[in-house]
Structure 1
Amino acid sequence: MAAVAFDTLKFARTVREKAKLSPEQAEGLADAMAEALQGDLVTKADLRAELADTRSEIVRWVAGLIGFQTLAVIGAVVALDRALH
């Protein structure tokens, strides 16, 4: 996960000056913003890695499905051959 640089002190000062909030309110808001920004962010590299994992899982699932279908068809052909002879 990636972290975003967030200057809580600068944010708190700006909010105090421009929004006329108390220091406690400004600091609380700055802390809440920092938590929200640094929560569950992902980078493009994180997304690419997860996408590659998902693709490989899909390929494995499809290959298994094809193998199962092949066995089912072979079993049906063998059963039909035995039934006809």
Structure 2
Amino acid sequence: MGQVAFDTQEFVETLENAGIAKEHARAISLAVRKSHEVADVATKADIVELKHEIAEVNRNVADVRKDMEHRFEKVESHMEALTDKLLIKVTKVIICCVGLGSTIVTLIIKFL
């Protein structure tokens, strides 16, 4: 954050010109300067910079979202392909079991 410029000499002179005693003007100037030293004030430039940083973060988030959507689509597509392969294999196993079962039944009937 930026510091606010504060001219203590000019401030003292302004107070003196307004009729405040020199020692009082210096004390007031010192107090005001110290308050400015600890003040954390954002300048217009700070705010503009922060807005640019926020815009960049928003762009990065949008890029990450697009990337994640693409990756999720790939995973879903891969899962669909695996599901199809698994369904084909399970169907083959069922057909083999039915064929083996009917063969066993046929052999049992033949030998009885």
Q: TM-score, normalised by structure 2?
A: 0.52
Calculate percent identity across the aligned residue pairs.
9
d(CA) in 1 for partners of 2:52 and 2:69?
26
Alpha-carbon offset, residue 43 of structure 1 = 2.5
Give the Cα separation in 2 of the matches to 1:41 and 1:53: 18
Name structure 1 gaps, 5 residues minimum. Answer: none
What is the CA-CA distance between 1:55 and the residue it aligns to? 0.8
Q: SS at 2:6's partner residue?
A: coil
Deviation at 1:30, TM superposition (A): 2.3
Is the 1:9–1:30 Cα contact (8 Å) retained in structure 2? yes
Residue of structure 2 in register with 1:31 after alignment = 30
Q: Answer yes or no: is the 8 Å Cα contact 1:8–1:34 preserved in 2.
A: no
- Counterpart of 2:83? 83
Higher helix share: 2
- What are the Cα deviations for residues 43-62 of structure 1, in whole angstroms up to 9, with x where unaligned? 22221122111211221122
Unaligned runs of 5+ in 2: 86-112
Aligned pair in 2 of structure 1 residues 15, 41: CA closer, same or farther (>3 Å)?
farther
Partner of 1:59: 59
Structure 1 range deviating more: 40-49 or 54-63: 40-49
The structure, 1 or 2, with the larger RCO (C-alpha pairs under 8 Å, 6+ apart) is 1
Aligned residues: 81
- C-alpha RMSD over aligned residues: 2.9
Bigger-Rg structure (1/2): 2
Residue of structure 1 equivalent to 2:5:
4
